[in-house]
Structure 1
């Protein structure tokens, strides 16, 4: 580790605020959860780190159990002006040591640019999946007509639907995701992390039962953009235009509430959702590479 760098655990709200500021600096095009959402979402096996040079926080780290069953996760980040000084390497080793102590023999991370992919490759990480980002500018967006027999409401209007959406719609989505192991999401995580903005989340109903949903995670730093949250339709209602109507509702809501850009991420195997987004006018911007490595890490040459 560079002699002028101190790495220590996050301790308290002020440290979490500094941790968040690093993420904003490293991923300026992405939504970063508000401070209270980050703190609320900390799990017992999580480890959050700060990298400090002098009085400045120049890097951060996060490690713990992944949402996918049986997997662990690390994410070192260094602000651009302090990259290529060994700080990322020091953070990476601290984070991997943590998940190794939890009993894992493999670890996952993600890289959004060639430099980050090259950094991971030096330590034995290899690509096992990738996601693509689709974006759309917001213009004049008419409200759609729902398919026959379907009613669309917001969760702000019907907060009682949150549990039903989890039980009957969300769990199917997690089972059907094009990923290499099941996604494990508790109801508490669903309520706190997956439905962050009820006024911008739409539910589709048929005969009074929840059959689909779509919405936004609003951006506290850039209020004119938002990330699409989960879009899903119950299996027996797929292919009937419900997903398109729900997504058109989100676009109309975006136009009425001053958003100028929305974006979404889809896994490599989710061709149906990508095709729907294309029909709705989304274009492609970036890819995010999912990386995995055995533990212990390979030492770089």
Structure 2
């Protein structure tokens, strides 16, 4: 029998993150403090045990894509194909149903996980591609004329206004299948965890672009790009490239060896920019959705 429990203590949260790190070893794993900072009604993390062994974890919350719940079951590789994933999925869907949303969403990075989702009524709706960049000697960028780039460590007062100036447009223009809604509160922490590696592009005093690297406590040699976004009237003028190069220069100065990002399948412009800057392709993540309520076999 699988014992699925909602996380309550920091020790349980760490067990949840241990499964996360094992199942997705190439991805950034948040800290306990970061997970706690994002807690809100309807959001839940789960851990699952069988015969005393930690075997799986689960996550449920409102998706950033409007009208959708998001769930993520993760089963440790040594314990798969034993009904554990089904037990965790069942509990996640029960929790997602309480959010009273018409669609539930998840992601899968390997054929076995995609097959698992399809078996329970999910269908593929989109894909995201991983792009990675080894860090070498990275000179600081030369921004377009009249543009300066500063870090949030230098000017912390810029980060909240950057949401209104650039973030809202950036999220609205993501090449996704559904509308994305990210609140200012989610922006403040979700797109930044290190002010020194978070950058704003300015034209005079106007905020025209943002980019960040989300540094990793468990893998300090690498970092994940946050949202790179530029105001619509400034796109195609080299601002995004300068911001990306600023991130690469910071990574080199701080001893990182690799950075990575996830780019929507339909965002050809950003993928081309990353290719131009020397990024290579990695994993492909499949977006899966199903209508609520849960599939009858569960």
TM over 0.5: yes
Specify the SS of the correspondent of 1:244: helix
Q: CA deviation at 1:218?
A: 0.5
Q: 2:264 aligns with which of 260, 264, 267?
A: 267
1:248 matched residue in structure 2: 245
CA distance in 2, matches of 1:43, 1:69: 17
Could you tell me which residue of structure 2 aligns to residue 53 of structure 1?
A: 50
Matches within 5 A, 1:16-55: 16-55=13-52
Q: 1:190-227, CA deviations, whole angstroms, 9 ceiling, x for partnerless residues?
A: 11111111101111100111110111001111111111
Matching residue of 2:254: 257
8 Å contact kept, 1:122–1:298: no
Q: 2:290 aligns with which of 280, 284, 293?
A: 293
Query: Quick one: distance in 2 between partners of 1:101 and 1:201?
Result: 36
Contact 2:149 2:202 in 1 (8 A): yes
Q: How much has 1:297 moved relative to structure 2?
A: 4.0
- Are the aligned partners of 2:94 and 2:294 in contact in 1 as well (CA < 8 Å)? no
1:164 Cα deviation after fit: 1.4
Which runs of 5 or more structure 1 residues have no equivalent in the other structure? Answer: none
Determine the structure 1 residue equivalent to 2:182.
Answer: 185
TM-score, structure 1 as length reference:
0.96
Q: Does the residue aligned with 1:96 lie in a helix, a strand or coil?
A: helix
In structure 1, the residue corresponding to 2:181 is in which secondary structure?
A: coil
Picking from 114, 123, 126, the partner of 1:126 is 123
Residue aligning to 1:67: 64
**Would you say how many aligned residue pairs link Structure 1 and Structure 2?**
298
Provide the C-alpha distance between the structure 2 equivalents of 1:192 and 1:215, rounded to a whole number of angstroms.
Answer: 12
CA apart distance, 1:299? 5.4
Residue aligned with 1:160, SS: helix
- How far apart in 2 are the matches of 1:116 and 1:242? 38
Separation in 1 of the partners of 2:262 and 2:72? Answer: 18
CA shift for structure 1 position 300:
6.2
Aligned match of 1:148: 145
Q: Tell me, yes or no, if the aligned pair for 2:137 and 2:252 is still in contact at 8 Å.
A: yes
Q: Determine helix, strand or coil for the equivalent of 2:156.
A: coil
Residue by residue over 1:228-247, the C-alpha shift from the partner in whole angstroms, topping out at 9 and shown as x without a partner, is 11111111111111111111
| Contact in 2 for aligned 1:73/1:108 (Cα 8 Å) | yes
**Per-residue Cα deviation, 1:268-295 (whole angstroms, up to 9, x for no partner):** 1111100000000011111000001123
Task: Choose which of 191, 196, 201 in structure 1 pairs with 2:193.
Answer: 196
